Amino acid sequence: MKKGLLIAALSVILSGIVSYVVAGKVAEQTGEVTEFKNELRNEQNNNIQNRRTVRADGDVMTGTYFSDAAELAVNSVVYVKVVKKARQQAPSMFDYFFGFANTPQDQVGVGSGVIISEDGYIVTNNHVVSGADEVQVTLYDNTVLDATVIGTDEATDLALLKVEGKNLQALEMGDSDELRLGEWVLAIGSPYDLRSTITAGIVSAKGRSFPNYDGSYRVESFIQTDAAVNPGNSGGALVNTSGQLVGINTSIVSLTGSYAGYAFAVPVNIVKKITDDFIQYGSVQRAVLGISMMDTDRGVQIADVRSETPAAAAGLKSGDIIKEINLNKVNTASEVQVQVSKLRPGEKAVVTVLRDNIQKEIMVNL
């Protein structure tokens, strides 16, 4: 009898210890999440205050604001010329009998770019400079400079160039997350070799993505605009009415290959991350969550959690509905992808999910 009472007493004590340890761990993680969220809120509040200061004088739209924005930005947009050297092939025996083979010609392509630092860093599209043997940029004052390709990223269609020049005017970067639907924007570039062309339009949509049929990894959450964009605009600037860079013009949707009212730009917040990575690390530092997702009427649902990934280690589960990442609301899989793409391996993210109709906040170490 005494032995039974002793065992029961020990069970109660051990149960209490286990409960205490588990509760302590939960409390510790909850405290960590709360502290991290407070840091994020403070950072967001500071950004909001800065944006209000910038926009204080720009709420009423007149032609003056277009002109002011254009004057601030146009000197920072460059003309990009790329040359792909022709590869000489050995002539076949038939060339000796039927005449000389045609001499292969170098391929020349053109696009646009944006100066993002006074020491000569220029951002453009990957598809503009991909495979180039020579790259030259022409500044607004017609100065021609040789450019070096620092890095390219096919997933975002961005590339970073470097030139050695004087009195380079860098374009100030804005915040693409704060763009509003219907907000006026200007597209600046060199369509059809017409250098420093400026067109105006509105933000038609945000977070646009396209079907990926080739299976390649892509980060897409385009800004859609109806500003006129044509071949040659690729890599050029999309700016707001404060003259700040909010996107890099990348593509259009058209049956003819020319402007049809649907143009797309890579958001500047993605541009910042990619260019910073190239400058600091020499390559893109891309965090991985380790999940597959699908868009549903309830939100972004986790379809699968891969083993031995940050998501698995943090306790994310198949069926979870992702609502926020680091306090940023997400409604589509592409928006989740963009939020994760802003982070680097080793950084943290608070992922807010809906599980069994209960909201949970989960800290993920990427």
Which are the catalytic amino acids?
A: 127, 157, 234
Is 178 strand, coil or helix? Answer: helix
**In whole angstroms, what is the distance from residue 248 CA to residue 174 CA?**
12
CA of 193: how far to CAs of 61, 163, 196, 226, 291, in Å?
30, 21, 9, 20, 44
First to last CA, the chain: 54
206's tokens: 């945000």
- Residues facing 265 on adjacent strands: 223, 249
What is the C-alpha to C-alpha distance for residues 294 and 5, in angstroms, rounded to an integer? 55
Q: How far apart are CA 363 and CA 64, in angstroms?
A: 47
| Rounded alpha-carbon distances, angstroms, from residue 321 to 318, 325, 359 | 9, 12, 9
Range 98-117 burial, b when 16+ CB lie within 10 A, else e:
eeeeeeeeeeebbbbbbbbe
- The stretches of the chain forming alpha helices (DSSP H) are 2-55, 63-73, 93-98, 126-129, 268-281, 310-314, 333-341
Instruction: Render 108-157 in DSSP notation, one character per residue.
Output: EEEEEEEE-STTSEEEEEHHHHTT-SEEEEE-TT--EEE-EEEEEETTTT
- Beta bridge partners, 304, equal 292
DSSP state of 285: -
